[in-house]
Chains A and B, each alone.
Chain A
Amino acid sequence: MIKLNNLVASYTTTRGQVNAVDGINITIPSGQIVGIAGESGCGKSTLLKVIYGDLIYPLALKTGNIQYGFEDNSGKEVTTDNIKDYWFKRISYIPQSSMSSLNPVIRIRKQFVDFQDRLKPESEILDEVREYIQNLDLPPEAIDAYPHQLSGGMRQRIMVAMGTFFKPDIILADEPTTALDVVVQKGILLLLMEIQEQMNNTILFVSHDMGVHYQITHKMLIMYAAKVVEFGDSEAVFKAPLHPYSKMLTESLPTIGDDKVREGIEGRPPSLWDNLQGCRFAARCPLVTELCRKQEPELIEHRPGHFAACHHADKV
């Protein structure tokens, strides 16, 4: 289980500090694919970076910490302080764009073994990699190529291979298929689901594509303006949401074969620079009352395993 305890992360800019993640307090069960969704600027990519431990200036963890659910060699629990030691081995990150993550002038195989404490000789590891990538429909010679010699789909499958080869406990994927065609995307996502079923690890999957979330996730985390507004089983969040934002979001999406009239949500999310009081969705919410404007709703477990931050969750 990954425990996020009162997480607040901020960016330091010339205008001052802004909290891109503003108080997240949840427990993510392991062995599932958890989708993180929300509008641009809601903090989902930042959350992923914080969980990965990629906290370089101007991003910093202001308060809170994360318990990752596994221990180091001395038996102590791993937290944000030492998670960096476990990069690639127990936690990995699959980025959005393969072309900017792979060094274009180095053969791919070098980038597979480019880290310290290798317990086995390099050639042995590479042989194992060549075996492994065949499961991803890649020819074993793929790792001997330069990045530009492979197609976009193949490159992204290499990124998935790099992120899963060492069988990490936690895989963080930040929009890994957004830039790809739908056909290629489906192939890679099915692959990811298979890997998760085999290794039984936890995948945190960030995307703005709600359709993708519906297809592959077991649980959904919906974020809005740096806060978590809903968290629960995917079926429940899509079919019986407890937060007006989730409801309006899923209902705005058209689908094929259904001629229902769809509406987008009016307005836009509040600026995180403003002094925000009360519920951050209040300005756009059809169920808003005075209480919503004054008091920020807590993330409460309204139904078993289904959390929502809304004063009027029962009316949604």
Chain B
Amino acid sequence: MNTVLKTVGLNKTYRLGGFINPLKINALDEVNLTIESEKPVIVSLVGESGSGKTTLAKVILRLVAPSSGQAMIYDQFVAGDGANVSKKEILSSVQPIFQNPFEAFSAYRTVDAYLERTATRIAGLSASDAVDAMQTALSSVGLKYADVKGKYPNQFSGGELQRVSIARALIPHPKMIIADEPVSMIDASLRMNIINLFLSLKEEYNTSFLYITHDLATAYYVSDYIAVMYRGTIVEFGEGKSILKNPQHPYTQLLLNSVALTDRKWERKTFIASDMEAKEFQFTGCRFKNRCPIAEDICTHKRPPPIRQEDGRDVYCHFATEEPEGMKV
């Protein structure tokens, strides 16, 4: 049994404003996540803007240092105290895919320059082995090296470029690929090409994926596990499909009621929109208290701990019950 991803007490606080009275935003607040599996898995971090999902990804990628706490990928420290790992080791275990494929490449360099650099520097291959590695990686994503070599980013479509990006991430055979909104800037008709790739690459390369998104439909399609985040905290975590079919946390239920799907119409019910975003980060109790239909006094004072349910999921709510309720699909 591998510990795919583990975070312990992960915190990230940003201070906005001046010296005298800075506003403290806990972009990540005591995030404790443990995902164990024998086989590679796809884990989705779902949430809206300000949820902390992107911050968590950045911490794992070491683009941002956490204020406290630790993160580990396959038992290897990647962030926080005790992460005395060499950069090279981490780069060969964890690789990213970025949201905007056109921004991910310099307009002045050929795209294969990045692939080649990854092959020689991170995978440590010789020049000729690098070419083989590039060919293999590109064919795994449905492209040919001959079609990619010597070309600049503006000669590709968004979907193709994103596939090149994925190929680059695959070259060092990383244990985990972090994909931050990888399809949100790709046309709807091309999205599933990329999403289906994640599923096939998971088997082919034995790589786990961390899929960060606000699109619940693709998260449903692709995830083994889902962590729903709100204002820097996890509110629900467990097996992907069951959480989305049967949400138990009030926020998850709210999300599912709001998502625009193509096979069922919205309930015409309105709800309380949040217009005090920054203030919610300061709550000592549950961050969702203000908008929650079942909030009570205890929610103001005490942070809800994760309550383990029968099906193995964790619901961070004082009123999570053993019997699932909520949106029936």
A contacts B: CB pair < 8 Å = yes
Binds A, one of B105-113, B120-128, B260-268: B260-268
Q: Given known contacts A183-B273, A256-B244, is B262 in contact with A263 (CB within 8 Å)?
A: no
A283 CB within 8 Å of chain B: no
Query: Is A255 in contact with B189, judged by CB distance below 8 angstroms?
Result: no
Q: Is the CB of B191 within 8 A of A211?
A: no
Q: Does B245 contact A (CB under 8 A)?
A: yes
Q: Mark B241-258, 1 if CB is under 8 A from A, else 0.
A: 100110000000011111
Known: A151-B275, A187-B271. A254 touches B189 (CB 8 A): no
Contact B189 A39 (CB under 8 A): yes
* A185 at the B interface (CB under 8 A): yes
Q: B262 touching A253 by the CB < 8 A rule?
A: yes
Assess A186 versus B260: contact at CB under 8 Å? Given A154-B275, A257-B329. Answer: yes
Residues of B within 8 A of A151 (CB): 274-275, 277
| Bound Cα distance A151, B271 (Å) | 17
CB-CB under 8 A from B266, the residues of chain A are: 186, 190, 215
Does B192 lie at the interface of the complex (its beta carbon under 8 Å from any beta carbon of A)? yes
Residue of B nearest to A265 (CB): B189
B268-295 interface code vs A (CB 8 A; 1 in, 0 out)? 1011011101000000000000000000
Check B275–A182 contact: CB distance below 8 A: no
Assess A250 versus B262: contact at CB under 8 Å? Given A154-B275, A187-B271: yes
> B residues within 8 A CB of A268?
157, 159-160, 190
How long is the Cα–Cα vector from A151 to B276 in the complex, in angstroms? Answer: 8
Partner of B189, one of A153, A209, A249: A249
* With A153-B273, A187-B273, A263-B196 as contacts: A257 and B258 at CB distance below 8 Å: no
- Asked if A208 and B259 make an inter-chain contact with CB atoms under 8 angstroms apart, the answer reads no
Q: Which residues of A contact B268 (CB under 8 A)?
A: 190
Contact of A211 among B194, B241, B262 (CB under 8 A): B262
Quote the shortest CB–CB distance from A69 to chain B (angstroms): 29
Residues of chain A contacted by B214 (CB below 8 angstroms): 181-182
Complexed CA–CA distance, A215 and B216 (Å): 16
Bound-complex Cα distance A182 to B265 (A): 14
Chain A residues near B255 (CB-CB < 8 A): 182-183
Assembled-state Cα–Cα distance A290/B263 (Å): 35
- By the criterion CB–CB under 8 Å, are A254 and B188 in contact? no
Residues of the A chain whose Cβ atoms lie less than 8 Å from the Cβ of B216: 182, 256
Q: Are B191 and A153 in contact (CB under 8 A)?
A: no
- Say how far B216's CB is from chain A's closest CB, in angstroms: 6
Which residues of B, 44-61, contact A by the 8 Å Cβ criterion?
48-49
Which chain A residues (241-266) contact chain B, with CB distance < 8 Å? 245, 248-250, 252-259, 262-266
- By a CB distance below 8 angstroms, the chain A residues around B192 are 252-254, 262-264
Chain B residues contacting A214 (CB-CB under 8 Å) are 260-263, 265
The complex places the Cα of A184 from the Cα of B214 at a distance, in Å, of: 13
| A266 CB → nearest B CB, Å | 7
Chain A residues within an 8 Å CB radius of B263: 214, 255, 258
Q: Do the beta carbons of A264 and B190 come within 8 Å of each other?
A: yes
Q: Are B262 and A264 in contact (CB under 8 A)?
A: no
A137 interface residue (CB < 8 Å to B):
yes
Q: Which residues of chain B are within 8 angstroms of A186 by Cβ–Cβ distance?
A: 257-258, 260, 266
Cα–Cα, bound, A268→B155 (Å): 13
Please, which residues of chain A bring their CB within 8 A of the CB of B273? 137, 153, 183-184, 187
- Closest residue of chain B to A260 (Cβ to Cβ) is B221
Interface of chain A residues 39 through 97 with chain B (CB within 8 A) = 39-40
Cα distance A265–B270 in the bound complex, in angstroms: 36
**With A and B bound together, what is the CA distance between A131 and B43 in angstroms?**
47
Binary contact readout B170-214 vs A (1 if CB under 8 angstroms, 0 otherwise): 000000000000000001111111111000000000000000001
Structural contact, B265 and A153, CB atoms closer than 8 A: no
Bound-complex Cα distance A215 to B261 (A): 8
- The answer to whether B217 has its CB under 8 Å from any CB of chain A is yes
Q: Which B residues touch A185, using CB under 8 A?
A: 258, 260
B140 at the interface (CB under 8 A from A): no
When C-beta atoms are compared, the residue in chain B nearest to A268 turns out to be B157
Q: In the assembly, what is the distance between CA of A212 and CA of B258, in Å?
A: 10
**Chain B contacts for A263, CB-based, 8 A:** 192-193, 196
Say yes or no for B114: interface residue by CB 8 A criterion. Answer: no
CA distance A25 to B187 in the complex (A): 26
- B217 and A181 contacting across the interface, CB-CB below 8 Å: no
Partner of A254, one of B157, B220, B265, B329: B220
> Does B309 belong to the interface (CB within 8 Å)?
no
Q: Which of A208, A215, A250, A252 contacts B265 (CB 8 A)?
A: A215
| Complex contacts, A126 vs chain B, CB 8 Å | none
Q: 4 tightest CB-CB pairs across the interface, nearest first?
A: A211-B260, A264-B193, A181-B48, A257-B329
Chosen A-B contacts, 27 in total, with CB atoms closer than 8 Å, are A39-B187, A40-B187, A181-B48, A181-B214, A182-B255, A184-B273, A185-B258, A187-B273, A190-B268, A212-B260, A214-B261, A214-B262, A245-B189, A253-B188, A253-B192, A254-B221, A255-B262, A255-B263, A256-B220, A256-B256, A257-B220, A257-B245, A259-B241, A264-B191, A265-B189, A266-B193, A268-B190
B binding-site residues for A, Cβ under 8 Å: 48-49, 157-160, 187-196, 214, 216-218, 220-221, 241, 244-245, 254-263, 265-266, 268, 270-271, 273-275, 277, 329
Instruction: Apart from A187-B273, A211-B217, A253-B262, list 6 A-B contacts with CB within 8 A.
Output: A184-B273, A210-B262, A215-B265, A249-B188, A257-B220, A264-B194
